[in-house]
Amino acid sequence: MVDLAFSPDGDLLASAGTDGTLRIWDTTLGQERLVIGSGQSGIISVAFSPDGTRLATAVEDGTVKVWDIATDPFDAQLSLVIGTRSYEVEFSPDGRFLATTGSALATHIWDAASGQKQLSLYGHKAVALDLAFTPDGTKLVTVGQDNTARVWDLSPTDEYLTFDGGGTFSPDGRYLATINAAGAAQIRDSVTGQPLFTISDPDAQFRFTAYSPDGDYLATFDERNRVKVWQITSGKEIFSSAPQTLRRYDLVFTLDGNRLAASDAGGKVNIWDITTGETIYVLAGSTWTVTVIDFSPDGSQLATTDWTGAAKVWDMTSGELQLNWVGDKEDGRIMGIDFSPDGQRLAFSDDSGKATILDMTTGEPILILKGSTGIANLAFSHDGTKLATLGFDNTVQIWEAATGKLLQILTIPDSDGLIYTGIAFSPDDGRLAISDLETKTTYIFMLAVEELVRLAQSRLTRPLTTAECQQYLRVPECPVRP
């Protein structure tokens, strides 16, 4: 006897034997109720379904059977062929799926009714000998002979792309600007990730990029803290500031593309007219590093944050300070700031885990969102209905901007303890870019199922069959291709 399993009500006990027999015992009477098998291959594992109507068995010969135990005699409803020696079988908490392990180092998830394979999990370097679902069925734990335990996320995942280089979407969403390991800016196709243009400076490596609103120009600052503007398709430099010793932190264009602002570690913000190369203002409202800046959509205001924890709003006609927001004592240092698309609201996040949305008419907070950890940055969607916050734990929370309702949570995979700071919606709000400027890594998350379907269809060399649509897309019929 190698495995035992009680039925959910405790009335039955199933035992698995190396002689190939499955024995069912009545625990109330203490009597053997049924014996099945005595085949040549031993039964390694048994598991009851949560409702107690089915029993699954895993056999040495690589088969898994699901028995209907409501019938007399028991009827084998389903027979799965694993292909290699089977080691463990387990039902999901809702009884819809079956997880199996085998000697091929893969764990498979099956539809317990149809027998269709739903998912294959690879990662163990030796056989997985045990497995268990979490009570909510969203995760699976496997334990292998390689002395590792792995936790797998089984919830529907959002497809993402990974690029080398901190990422900035072009205004039309078609391109993404990244910085490669050599310090050059690469313009990539945002769907495929393929590089299209490269802009480089032989004198220094770039640290940051920002698109002009028309998508024709790219602003950069480099390791010498010079701010430059480049014509993308030609790579021609059209503007350059003088180098300085103080580190630059952020870059942003006005909506008309004529002005460019850059912050630095000395508490100053330079604003240039890039059509003439002249300095318009030097804002000096702090002796601390100005970390994040953002123009209002009409360019009439500039919001800044610094390491004192204050958020300031400046009038771009006069250069005067309009608003100086200082939070409560328990509020942390402000990390991110963003105007809503209509300019009526200003959102900022802090390292205590709060995101605050101010009414720009009254200067008063209208909504406070509480994240699970400190919030490194945030961004409004382009339609203004959502606000995405990026936590220190590398989870992204997407909120309804009007009510504060939490709509979606995304997790950055394989973050290895890094704290990502860049966040931006694509112009159509269907994707979200998350980037880390130090390691020059960017993830692109697909936020809508329709977007995933379109991406999958664009990569197919043939139409999906109905069975494949049911298996991979979880829909009864295949979507109609445009």
What are the residue boundaries of the structural domains of the chain, listed by start? 3-153, 160-452, 453-482
Tell me the C-alpha distance between 147 and 391, whole Å: 32
At 21, give phi and psi (nearest 5°). -105, 145
Q: Do 24 and 33 contact (CB within 8 A), yes or no?
A: yes
Tell me the C-alpha distance between 60 and 2, whole Å: 12
Q: Do 73 and 34 contact (CB within 8 A), yes or no?
A: yes
DSSP E strand stretches across 327-447: 334-339, 345-350, 354-359, 364-370, 375-380, 386-391, 395-400, 406-411, 422-425, 431-436, 441-446
Asked whether the domain spanning 160-452 has the same topology as the one spanning 3-153, the reply is yes
Q: Do 382 and 375 contact (CB within 8 A), yes or no?
A: no
Bin 105: left if φ > 0, else alpha if -120 < ψ < 50, else beta: left
Neighbours of 202 (CB within 10 A): 4
- In single-letter form, the type of residue at position 212 comes to S
User: At CB < 8 A and 24+ separation, what contacts does 113-116 make?
Assistant: 113/78, 115/78, 115/79, 115/80, 116/467, 116/470, 116/471
- In single-letter form, the type of residue at position 179 comes to I
Q: What pLDDT, on the 0 to 100 scale, is given for residue 64?
A: 86
Both structure tokens of 53: 């109507």
User: For 53, what's the count of Cα atoms within 13 Å in the CB-facing half-sphere?
Assistant: 9
Residue 464: C-alpha distances to residues 227, 452, 455 (Å):
49, 14, 13
Residue 393: exposed, middle, or buried by beta-carbon count in 10 A (0-12, 13-18, 19+)?
middle
Q: Do 337 and 322 contact (CB within 8 A), yes or no?
A: no
Q: What pLDDT, on the 0 to 100 scale, is given for residue 11?
A: 85
Both structure tokens of 412: 């950055």
- CA dihedral of residues 27, 31, 35, 41 (deg, nearest 10): 70
Sheet holding 31-37, edge to edge: 3-6, 12-16, 21-26, 31-37
Q: What pLDDT, on the 0 to 100 scale, is given for residue 106?
A: 78
Q: What pLDDT, on the 0 to 100 scale, is given for residue 453?
A: 63
Looking at domain 3-153, does it have CATH number 2.130.10.10? yes
3-state SS class at 24: strand
Per-residue confidence in pLDDT tens, the chain, 482 aa: 667 888 888 888 888 877 777 888 888 887 887 777 645 577 888 899 998 888 888 888 878 888 888 776 666 666 776 666 777 899 999 898 899 887 777 788 888 888 877 777 777 778 887 888 888 787 888 877 877 777 777 754 444 455 555 567 788 878 888 887 788 888 888 767 778 889 988 888 888 888 999 989 999 999 899 999 999 888 899 999 999 988 888 899 998 899 999 999 888 999 999 999 999 999 987 778 888 899 999 999 999 988 777 889 999 999 999 988 876 656 677 888 999 999 999 999 988 889 999 999 998 999 999 876 789 889 999 999 999 999 888 788 999 999 999 988 887 765 555 566 788 898 889 888 888 765 567 788 888 766 666 666 665 656 777 777 766 655 667 766 65
CATH fold of 160-452, please? Methylamine Dehydrogenase; Chain H (2.130.10)
Q: Record the pTM.
A: 0.57
3-state SS class at 467: helix
Helices (H), 70-219: none
Q: What pLDDT, on the 0 to 100 scale, is given for residue 252?
A: 92
Q: What pLDDT, on the 0 to 100 scale, is given for residue 459?
A: 59
